[in-house]
């Protein structure tokens, strides 16, 4: 399992496969928007958990003590995407009886 700062950096460096990008350029919408597809592919690749989502959503948008400006930008971008697609990513089945 990755620690959480590495997870934000890995999202910043994540590249979608060329065939998926070319399909969107050709006008074929596979699952949803390009941003949605990227987030779903990333979450599947790193096995994103509810704890990871909760951590990033609850972290304030200001820079942490030992965090560089670039790391803060990467974390903020991931947090924004997680907030936007949280309903699709969050595993609510763990709360059902």
Under 8 Å CB-to-CB from 42, ≥6 apart: which residues? 10, 11, 14, 48
**Per-residue confidence in pLDDT tens, the chain, 97 aa:** 457 778 999 999 999 999 999 999 998 888 888 899 999 999 999 999 999 999 998 988 888 888 899 999 999 999 999 999 999 999 888 776 6
Q: Give how far Cα 86 sits from Cα of 18, 28, 36, 66, 91, Å.
A: 26, 24, 11, 27, 9
């Amino acid at each position: 399992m990755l620690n959480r700062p590495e997870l934000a950096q890995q999202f910043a460096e994540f590249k979608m496969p060329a065939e998926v990008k070319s399909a969107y350029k050709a006008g074929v919408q596979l699952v949803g928007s390009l941003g949605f597809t990227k987030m779903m592919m990333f979450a599947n690749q790193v096995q994103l958990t509810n704890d990871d989502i909760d951590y990033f959503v609850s972290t304030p948008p200001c820079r942490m003590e030992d965090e560089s400006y670039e790391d803060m930008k990467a974390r903020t971008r991931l947090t924004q995407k997680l907030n936007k697609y949280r309903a699709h990513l969050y595993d609510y089945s763990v709360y059902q009886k």
